[in-house]
Chains A and B, each alone.
Chain A
Amino acid sequence: MQSFKEALDDLLTDLAWSLWTELGVAGVERRHARHSVDPESLIIFTADLGDTDPRLRDESMDWCIRYDSFISEVRLRNLLKTQDEVTKKAFGEYAATINANGSARWPVPSGSAPFSFTPSGKSVVDFSRPAVLRLRMRALFGVGARAELLTAFLGEPAASRSASELTVVGYAKRNIAQVLSELHSAGLLQARPIQNRIHYRLARVDALRALAEPLPDFFLDWSMLLTFAAAARHLAMRPMDTSWRVSAVAVNQLLMHFETTLASFDEPVPKSQPSTRDYWENASDWILRFFRGLSSERTPSSARSTSP
């Protein structure tokens, strides 16, 4: 029987393979054709998976070296700030290897060394896929906050949001505020002051859609979901002699930390229980169910989309 860690790693590598294959990595199964894939979040997560699947790691690095010009170093840096030390360290080695094999200058923490790697040269992006919307937007508007913000607005065209709320796209608030103001000047966004904040919404939805098509159906917050996935992995990697009591408390804290992200999915997170053993079993089963749903064709969001 598989351990929790083994089962989780299987699901998460499946998920990563499917997302990478949508982006053009030489993979077999694509199950996220209707999702907007987030490259930087996926890169950080794949670095965290590390040696769990060396082929996945190598093929993803092949893609990164070829399509580095579509990747935002600023966004990588900002997204890394919310990761734990385990992920930061893993990313350092991954980024050092990318930098050593191409022209990328990704952020590398001191002490990170590249590992031996030969690109396969197999990666090819099909820019006509809905899942690569972010890459198309970057091709149209340049790699930066502008493309990310417009992608976020396409995800929720009716939503009205402030610069603060939009920092979730992975750029600094000042940068976002400036771009929002410029897009408003260009007539692409409507602006409305609410209390002491300016809220923006898309003014020319059809025009932007026409440029960006084909659009995916789902705009999940992959940044949060893959951060949750990495945190769940790290929990599963705890020493085998860790008691289920400690594991139960740790998994409860994990689920509470990501409560807001998980609340947009239909399956409610497990409630507290009088027995830590029961709680651990329910919560670990729930996590496996959650990622089974996320890595399969069936999206656990039950047709609800979130942005960005």
Chain B
Amino acid sequence: MRVMKSIEPLEEAIGTLGAVLADRGLHYELAAIGGGSLMLVGLIKRPTKDVDIVAVIHEGKYQRADPLPQPLVQAVQEVAATLGLASDWLNAGPTDLLRFGLPEGFARRVEIRSYDGLTLHIAGRIDQIHLKFYAAVDQGPKSKHYSDLIALRPTRDELLASARWTLSQDSSPGFKESLKGALEALGVKDAEL
């Protein structure tokens, strides 16, 4: 299985997927977050092996992406077999984030990229910071999310806004302590949340 170390393989995979979908008369709009989407818009450069889909967009509405539509899954797997990628290189892993809601205004800030039969709504920078902050708190300071977050160069205000949104996802006392620790590690002391 191949890891995409630069933007070209990722663009190749997504471009191929879009071309295959269009050839089959299909079109999907998907909201993408995470490392792959950050790479697409040039915000990070770390190797990644997947594109994380948080929602399928139908008539402008964000809907759970899990399960992804079968014709899309089929095309994703066929592209994977051709390019030597994992069969779930495009996946609905983070779609649970929809349960408590994405950051307010997420849909207005997306960057839209069209690839024939595929339109990606890529989360804007501030939303990526929110989501990366949540993931970094959840998975600890040694996780890839932490380094992605640093690469996004968030300001103090952005981190505080992210922290407040993150608490809406998980308000347990233990999580709040982890969150404060993460903020301190990122240089935000004495945060009022």
Contact = CB atoms under 8 A, between A and B. Distances in A.
Q: Report whether chain A binds chain B.
A: yes
Interface string A244-269: 01101100110010000000000000
Contacts of B9: 274
B23 A252 contact: no
Contacts of A245: 15-16, 19-20
Interface string B17-52: 001100100000000000000000000000000000
B23 A276 contact: no
Contacts of A196: none
Interface residues of A, number: 16
A252 B81 CA distance: 7
B20 A246 contact: yes
A276 B83 contact: yes
The bracket for how many chain B residues form the interface is: 10 to 19
Interface in A49-76: none
B83 A279 contact: yes
Name the residue among B2, B19, B78 with the largest chain A CB count within 10 angstroms.
B19
A271 interface: yes
Contacts of B82: 248-249, 252, 272-273, 276, 279
Interface of B: 2, 9, 12, 15-16, 19-20, 23, 75, 78-79, 81-84
Given A253-B78, A272-B82, A274-B84, 18 more contacts: A242-B23, A245-B15, A245-B19, A246-B19, A246-B23, A248-B16, A248-B82, A249-B16, A252-B81, A271-B84, A272-B81, A273-B82, A273-B83, A274-B12, A275-B12, A276-B12, A276-B82, A279-B82
Interface of A: 242-243, 245-246, 248-249, 252-253, 256, 271-276, 279
